[in-house]
Amino acid sequence: MPVDVSTLNLPIGPPAHAVYVAGDESLRFSVLNAAAGVTVRIAGRFMHRDGRVEPFVERLVPATDRTVSVKTIPLAEGWLLNAQASVSAGTPQIGQTFAILSLVRGRTGAFEELATLAAGPISAVQRIAWPGSVVGSPLEGAGALRTITGATPAAGAEVSETVPTGARWQLVSFRATFAASAVVSNRNLFLQLDDGTTVLEQVIQFNAVTASGGANAYWMAGFGPVTVNFGNGQMQGIGTSAWLAAGHRIRTLTIGIDAADTWTNVRYKVREFLEGA
Amino acid sequence: MVRCRTCGGTYEPILPDGTQYFHACSPLSVAEIRQGLQDNTIQLSRIDRLRLRTARDADRTNPPAEGEPSQEERALQLMVVERPNKRDENIRTGLDARDKGSRIKAEGAGVEDVVDE
């Protein structure tokens, strides 16, 4: 039932932007996160029916596996004046922690979402606030720059790195060290991207590695499609838009591979975006 | 540092920046496919068996030139053969995760700690 503010005898009326809540609604913060050691601070102010303004502060330690972590704050009858989310502990990059602020009906069990108030990336310096912030997407912006040390495969096996559940990557560069066994045959080194099943892109280092030889192989976004050698290194381009969804893989393919060949020092740089899981 | 008991790969479960690393075993390399076929420990899909037979037939009728890869070699390079009992530490979501089993997609043969040498 609508509330006639003039009958409440308030010292001052609620501001025009304030949202009236009837007492069976809650404020809900949903957080996607990939960084370690993060605590999200949730704060705001609430105006009770009697005109009393009460600040609130809650904290949420989100999961680090890109799944959604939720904090629900039950609201009394009155007006929500403002709310915000920021990072109070940890140092996530922009793009590693994303918060959604919404109004839901219900206090426990099943909730029905009524309104999305704000959504966006948060960090120690970047916060989202209602009123003021837009409803953004976790796929906007520059993403989080990550340097990842991949698994070292057993001898005779290839490198394979999988985009984790809840992430979207843009591959910036990839490097690994290849060492050929003494078995006589030339090896050619490919980097290939697949969607978990089907190979989508293959890029070769044109210069062969001979028996007992080795190479530091680099593949880099924006680099030309011609192998450049320097010392023991080989460099090759991978285009400019190597986008990979969760479950996609970055793999090597070694033509002429022997059971005693090895890949080591697997390092790559990606821009990471949160899809959420 | 841990070692995957399925593929033998080694990795740090927590990366230097504090983020979790989710290992998933690589598909078999050409060397491993060859070995698996020889030992009869892997089974190719119907389409891959057909590809391999066609390639071997082509090699018999038109043998590769000296230094050139055989059709069989080329066919093996194009195959994506997943590792038997592969481990995939990526988390399950949605309907996949409703059975309350392991949170990860596939346990494989598990992992063991690697003692620094």
Select the highest-mean-pLDDT range: A117-126, A153-162, B63-72, B100-109.
A153-162
Mean pLDDT of the B37-42 span: 94
Residue A1 has pLDDT above 60, yes or no: no
DSSP state letter for B5 = T
Residue with tokens 């957080």: A31
Alpha carbons A103 and A29: distance in angstroms, whole number: 9
**Burial class for A161, CB neighbours closer than 10 Å (0-12, 13-18, 19+):** buried
Please check whether residue B6 is in contact with residue B105, taking contact to mean a CB–CB distance below 8 angstroms: no
Residues A79 and A100: their CA atoms lie apart, in Å, by 20
* pLDDT greater at residue A224 or residue A260: A260
Say yes or no for a CB contact (<8 Å) between A253 and B21.
no
Average pLDDT over residues A94-104: 95
Residues 6+ apart with CB under 8 A from B18: A35, A36, A37, A64
Which residue on chain B is closest to A93 by alpha carbon?
Answer: B17
* This prediction's pTM: 0.90
Work out the minimum CA distance from B76 to partner chain A, whole angstroms: 10
- B contact test, residue of A61, A65, A267 with most B CBs within 10 A: A65
pLDDT tens digits along B73-87: 999 998 999 999 999
A125, A90 contact by CB (below 8 A) = no
What does residue A233 show for φ and ψ, rounded to 5 degrees?
-105, 155
A2 pLDDT exceeds 60? no
* Length of chain A measured in residues: 277
A209 Cβ partners below 8 Å, 6+ apart?
A178, A180, A186, A187, A188, A189, A215
The predicted-structure confidence for A47-85, as pLDDT tens digits, reads as follows 998 889 999 999 999 999 999 999 999 999 999 999 999
A143 and A95 in contact (C-beta within 8 Å)? yes
Q: What is the mean pLDDT of residues B10-37?
A: 95
Determine the angle formed by the axes of helices B30-39 and B71-78, rounding to 10 degrees: 100
CA–CA–CA angle A80, A33, A113 (5° rounding): 35
- With an 8 Å Cβ cutoff, the interface of chain A facing chain B consists of 34-37, 64-65, 67, 146-154, 156-160, 162, 164-166, 194, 197-199, 246-247, 249, 251, 253-259, 261, 277
Q: What percent of chain A has pLDDT over 70?
A: 95
Query: Residue A141: what residue type?
Result: G
CB contact under 8 A, A160 and B91: no
Exposure class string for A67-84: b at 16+ Cβ within 10 A, else e: bebebbbebeebbbbbbb
Nearest to A148 among B15, B25, B32 (CB): B15
Out of A2-6, A106-110, B2-6, least confident range: A2-6
> Residue by residue, what is the 3-state secondary structure of A11-80?
CCCCCCCCEEECCCEEEEEEEEECCCCCEEEEEEEEEECCCCEEEEEEEECCCCCCCEEEEEEECCCEEE
Lowest mean pLDDT among A197-206, B23-32, B39-48: A197-206
Say yes or no for a CB contact (<8 Å) between B22 and A165.
Answer: yes
- Nearest CA to B90 out of B33, B27, B24, B25 is that of B24
Q: Quick count: other Cβ atoms within 10 Å of Cβ A151?
A: 26
Structural tokens at position A185: 């045959």
> In the predicted model, what is the mean pLDDT of chain A?
91
Q: Which of B15, B26, B29 comes nearest A149 by C-beta?
A: B15
How many CB atoms are located within 10 Å of the residue B21 CB? 17
pLDDT higher than threshold 70 for residue A5:
no
Question: Strand pairing partners for A165?
Answer: none
- Do the chains contact at B4 and A258, CB–CB below 8 Å? no
B36, closest residue in chain A (CA to CA): A259
